[in-house]
A = this chain, B = another copy of it.
Amino acid sequence: MLNKSRGRPRGRPRTRERIAEVARQEFLEHGYRGATVRGIAAAAEVDSALISYHFGSKEALFGEVMELQCIGARGLSAAFEGDLAGLADRILDAVTSAWEGDAAAPPGLDGAAMGREEVMIVLRGYLESEVVGRLAEFLGGTDARARATAAATVIGGFIFTRYLNPLPSVQSLSSGEARAILEPSLRAALAPRVPRRPYARMGA
């Protein structure tokens, strides 16, 4: 189909990078839907199966090249370090500062280049792999996955109701207030699951 002489090519033709560059252009020009795997492969002068081979899926390719890694693996892992008591605070800190652009402002989320659909795709991949995956790994233990999943829905809900589909009540909070209001929920999500004890009642 490409008639480019079968087999591994000589040297180190940075094919993966070439695909990524082309893909970025195509995504920006035509959007997620408009850009096709076959089209990207053609533009990169490569067989389309190579995209699955190198990136796994169109979504993963999109997530990688549009790396607005909502926090970035580094930032999030950094938040993991430390005691469990402060974990919720550190994560909320990382999330708000990533989305409200202290330093490295994640591009395009407030409008611009990406549509809702694209953002949701990236966010989904991010929550699933970065948050659920890494956090469960960090927490360890039998209930790690349950705790990480709960944390992901709280964090996802925060991003959703504050940035993606903002509720007035959530959007109007200062980032400090938002953190303070949400911290108990995230802390509870992260807490080890204890068999419910009868005296562990909630205050009046």
Contact = CB atoms under 8 A, between A and B. Distances in A.
A127 B161 CA distance: 9
Contact of A182 (B150, B167, B173): B150
Interface residues of A, number: 51
A154 interface: yes
| A interface: dominant SS | helix
17 contacts: A84-B202, A128-B167, A128-B169, A145-B169, A148-B169, A149-B169, A149-B170, A150-B184, A154-B185, A155-B157, A156-B160, A157-B158, A185-B188, A188-B188, A190-B202, A191-B202, A194-B203
Interface of A: 84-85, 116-117, 120-121, 123-124, 127-128, 132, 145-146, 148-150, 152-158, 160-162, 165-170, 173, 177, 181-182, 184-194, 201-204
